[in-house]
Structure 1
């Protein structure tokens, strides 16, 4: 994206304004078309239901008297008087067709069994299907509550599609006109911003060369003019700030030492809180959920109503999923194996679970000898492993990861290699400035232990993260 950084502000302003306008137009257009389509579908369905109810009210006697001619004449007159009606069928209570408006055979794809249709709250049934004559929305109204028969009305969606196409065309033309006006306005806006900014750039270049006596000309009183005034004041204050900066630098170093102590305590408190929450989730919440599942099981054995059993089974499945999520959360907050079996076993188990869940090939190469490290180093290595694998799965698009844990003279070394897209230059500083604590948080953790955190990355060639922590730093 180097070309984007080198692009003029003029093109950036135009591009942003027009892009946002197009995006807004697409969103509004999608919402409008979706809403319009739903409203038209509802109107078609309502008209079909009213027409079917009308025919059903007039046809009950004819169905009882087997007067199929009267039925045929009535449904054909009704169909001919309404443009959107594709067909009308009248069936008896068993589903046998008594009369229909098709000139020949029934179209292919037309459902015959009425049991396939769900009945809504208004008492009629609807179904949308495709036949050899196109998409059809069918409305079924029972005659005498289905005891005598059914009236089935197939509504065509051709007029709806034509109306939607017309509205889409009108919206497209309107969007083009608005974008043209926006381009003209953004061009003028870009000129108003760029011209004084060029003057400020020239003044900044003079300051860079050590000339603190340069001044910028102020022609307007708007935001840009006020910026030029502030710029002039800044030049005056730069002379005084040099001496002040030396004093502040000493204070900053002292505060950095305090910050290091506070961060160390913060990470310690955070891990203690995770451990407490993990224990509460496992000992209290999980036990309560398990008791709830036991009560549900007892209740299932006593229910005789099938619908109630289905609802209770669904509720029990939800509770099982919640219990599984709680246990998984408790383990991720503070894996018991880390305290019981050590860092190698904890990392191996986490890597195995992560690889199975994400479908990512992860290879782990632990040291041959047994590692003896304190709890804080173990926690740091484990959190870095978690954060690194999470970042790889979300952003790297890698297919394989190699993780090596080894012990060198007086140090523990963790190396994580992936074959993903890589990390761009300056990622740690950018993460810190944007309050994204992933990479920056890992670096902070390692530096608090007196260690070294580095990464090497090339675009399209993967990333290598290396963590080196002195084993004796806290002993």
Structure 2
């Protein structure tokens, strides 16, 4: 009541100043609440984003562990199922009773054992090559990729070609192997799912960035497809690719050419002094 009496007795200018001040105060308070609400919304969004990133990293780690475990199991199975029986058979031919046999039988047993041992050596060599292809080890990534694409073209169902523009110096062997495994996985996916008539790969360096690009004219993925599959429970092969890229701190991009005639996959790695060594 007192406030109303004061307002009624005040001049119109004073009343306008009073109500303007009240309005500004209400507006300021409203703005403060709006900012607080917006900040809380941003914090919730950031927390949700961090949770999504954590879940994705967890899935990638699980995929990497699963890949390593599958490779160990495959090697163990090859050694147990193939090399084990071969060596056991060779041992039968070279048992302690060999000295009691006639000379002809002794020579035949030794020959048979040698044949089996040679076969075992070849088996172990093949297993070793699957871990580190000899062309990659001895001549580098360019030669290994060219060898891979020559074999693809040799099958006669799809044309494969590769061109390296800037690979005068090699990366460390372990990084070359990771890049080669990524290329293998991508090529296998293209061969299995795309129904392409060709696969072409190029390599170049721009500043400190190392690029590998695969082109094919079949069914392919866009970046949105890749990210969706990468976050799903399936797509183990793509998760393995992402896991390997994480080791190299690299990136991968999937896109369709503007002409809509082919798909392109780009691998980008950052280079430093430790990444490059002379042959």
Structure 1 residue 383 displacement after superposition: 1.3
1:252 aligns with 2:60: no
1:465 aligns with 2:265: yes
CA–CA separation in structure 1 for the residues paired with 2:192 and 2:48 = 39
1:439 aligns with 2:235: no
| Contact 2:223–2:254 (8 Å) recurs in 1 | no
- 1:76 matched residue in structure 2: none
Within the candidate set 171, 182, 194, 1:396 is matched to 194
Structure 1 segment 32-431 matched on structure 2, within 5 A: 245=44, 248-249=47-48, 252=51, 255=54, 259=57, 263=61, 266=64, 270=68, 274=71, 285-286=82-83, 289=86, 330-357=128-155, 359-367=157-165, 369-423=167-221, 426-431=224-229
Structure 1 residue 462 displacement after superposition: 2.3
Structure 1 residue 407 displacement after superposition: 2.8
CA–CA separation in structure 1 for the residues paired with 2:164 and 2:76 = 28
Tell me, which stretches of 5 or more residues in structure 1 are unaligned? Answer: 1-240, 303-315
1:453 aligns with 2:262: no
| Contact 2:64–2:243 (8 Å) recurs in 1 | no
CA–CA separation in structure 2 for the residues paired with 1:345 and 1:288 = 35
Higher deviation after alignment, 377-386 or 451-460: 451-460
CA–CA separation in structure 1 for the residues paired with 2:131 and 2:64 = 16
Structure 1 residue 328 displacement after superposition: 5.2
Structure 1 residue 365 displacement after superposition: 0.8
3-state DSSP of counterpart to 2:234:
coil
Residues 251 and 398 of structure 1, relative CA distance in 2, 3 Å threshold: closer
After superposition, what is the alpha-carbon deviation per residue over 1:147-184, rounded to whole angstroms, capped at 9, x for unaligned? xxxxxxxxxxxxxxxxxxxxxxxxxxxxxxxxxxxxxx
CA–CA separation in structure 2 for the residues paired with 1:457 and 1:256 = 28
| Contact 1:411–1:470 (8 Å) recurs in 2 | yes
3-state DSSP of counterpart to 2:181:
helix
The structure, 1 or 2, with the larger RCO (C-alpha pairs under 8 Å, 6+ apart) is 2
CA–CA separation in structure 1 for the residues paired with 2:163 and 2:239 = 25
Greater gyration radius: 1
CA–CA separation in structure 2 for the residues paired with 1:403 and 1:356 = 16
CA–CA separation in structure 1 for the residues paired with 2:235 and 2:132 = 22
CA–CA separation in structure 1 for the residues paired with 2:139 and 2:193 = 31
The alignment yields a C-alpha RMSD, in angstroms, of 5.1
Paired residue total: 215
Tell me, which stretches of 5 or more residues in structure 2 are unaligned? Answer: 1-39, 94-103, 109-114
CA–CA separation in structure 2 for the residues paired with 1:279 and 1:350 = 26
After superposition, what is the alpha-carbon deviation per residue over 1:101-138, rounded to whole angstroms, capped at 9, x for unaligned? xxxxxxxxxxxxxxxxxxxxxxxxxxxxxxxxxxxxxx
After superposition, what is the alpha-carbon deviation per residue over 1:262-298, rounded to whole angstroms, capped at 9, x for unaligned? 849957x939x9599769958x9559648969x99x9
Q: TM-score, normalised by structure 1?
A: 0.35
Residues 452 and 254 of structure 1, relative CA distance in 2, 3 Å threshold: closer
Residues 365 and 247 of structure 1, relative CA distance in 2, 3 Å threshold: closer
After superposition, what is the alpha-carbon deviation per residue over 1:43-91, rounded to whole angstroms, capped at 9, x for unaligned? xxxxxxxxxxxxxxxxxxxxxxxxxxxxxxxxxxxxxxxxxxxxxxxxx
CA–CA separation in structure 2 for the residues paired with 1:327 and 1:358 = 27
Structure 1 residue 456 displacement after superposition: 1.4
| Contact 2:63–2:239 (8 Å) recurs in 1 | no
| Contact 2:250–2:268 (8 Å) recurs in 1 | yes
Structure 1 residue 438 displacement after superposition: 2.5
Residues 288 and 345 of structure 1, relative CA distance in 2, 3 Å threshold: farther
Structure 1 residue 402 displacement after superposition: 1.0
Residues 386 and 422 of structure 1, relative CA distance in 2, 3 Å threshold: same
- 1:33 matched residue in structure 2: none
Residues 255 and 326 of structure 1, relative CA distance in 2, 3 Å threshold: same
